[in-house]
Amino acid sequence: MNDILTALLLVFGSLFCFVAALGMLRLPDTVIRMHAATKAGTLGAGLILIAESFFYAELGITLRALAAITFLLLTAPVAAHLIGRAAYYSGIRLWHKTWIDQLKDRYPAGDPPEESEP
Amino acid sequence: MPADTSLVEIASRFALVVLLISIALALVRLIKGPDAADRIVALDLISMLIIGFLATESIYAGETSFLDVAIGYALIAFLGTVALARFLMRSTQLTSKNMNKIEDKTTNNE
C-alpha cells in the first residue's frame, strides 16, 4: 500500500515539476512565467517530499519532510513577491494581451519608488 | 532491467529522469531569458527542482541523509533568490535617477 502511494506521489510530483519547467519555457512573459514556477514547482516538490515520508514511514523522516514542506510553502511566496517587484520596477515588458496593469499609473516601469535605506 | 525491481524503484527512476529533463528545460530559459528577471525566476525554479531531485534520490538510494541536504539547500536557495532580487531592485534604483518624475507621480496620486 505504501509502495503504491509512494510511486503515485513520485510520478505526480515529477510530472508537476515537468509542467512547471515547460511553463517556464513556453509562457510569454516574466510575470506569467513566475506563476508557473512558483505554484507548480512548489506543488511538485511538496508531493515528492510527501512521497518520501510515506516511503520511510518513520516519525523523524516525516517530521523532517513536513518541516521542508512548511519551509517551501513559507518562502516561495516571499521569494516570488520579491522577484515580481524587482522585475516590474526593472521595466520588463508585459505580454501584449495583458489588459490589467494596476501599477501603471502609480509606478511607470523603470521608475522605482524611493526606498528608505536600511 | 532485472526482474526484482520494485514499483518504487521504477517510479523513482522515472521521477529522476523527468526531473532531469525539467532542469534542462529551465536551463534553456536561464540561458536565453531576455531579461535579468527571467534568469532569476529560472534559477528559483531550478533550485525548487533540485530540492525535488534530492528527495527522489533519497528514495532511490535508500539514504535518508539526502533529505537533510534538501532542507539545507532550500534554506540557502531562498537566501540566494532574495539576494538576487534585492540586487536587481537596487541596480534599477541606481540607474534611474530621475527624481523629478517621482515627485510628479506623487502629485498625480492625489
What is the structure's pLDDT at A50?
93
Answer yes or no: do B14 and A10 touch at CB < 8 A: yes
Global confidence as pTM: 0.83
pLDDT at B35 over 90: no
Alpha carbon of residue B90 to chain centroid: 21
At A9 the pLDDT is 93
Put simply, the answer to whether B92 touches A110 (Cβ < 8 Å) is yes
Question: How much is the pLDDT for B62?
Answer: 87
Q: What is the pLDDT of residue B91?
A: 82
- What are the residue ranges spanned by the domains of chain B? 7-103
Our CA-based measurement puts residue A75 at a distance from the nearest CA of chain B, in whole angstroms, of: 7
Give the best residue of A82, A94, A107 to mutate against chain B (max B CB count within 10 A): A82
- ipTM of the assembly? 0.85
Structure confidence at residue B95 (pLDDT): 67
- Positions in chain A short of pLDDT 70: 106-118
Q: Return the DSSP state at B103.
A: H
CA distance A61 to A67: 10
What DSSP string describes A38-97?
A: IIIHHHHHHHHHHHHHHHH--HHHHHHHHHHHHHHHHHHHHHHHHHHHHHHHTTPPPPTT
Domain B7-103 has CATH 2.60.40: no
Mean pLDDT across B75-90: 91
| pLDDT for residue B8 is more than 50 | yes
How far is A99 from chain B, CA to nearest CA, in Å?
A: 21
Q: Which three cell numbers stand for residue A64?
A: 523532517
Closest CA relative to residue B45, chosen from A105, A30, A112: A30
Instruction: Please name the amino acid found at residue A50.
Output: I
Tell if the CB–CB gap between B74 and A75 is shorter than 8 Å.
yes
Min Cα–Cα distance to chain B from A15, Å: 7
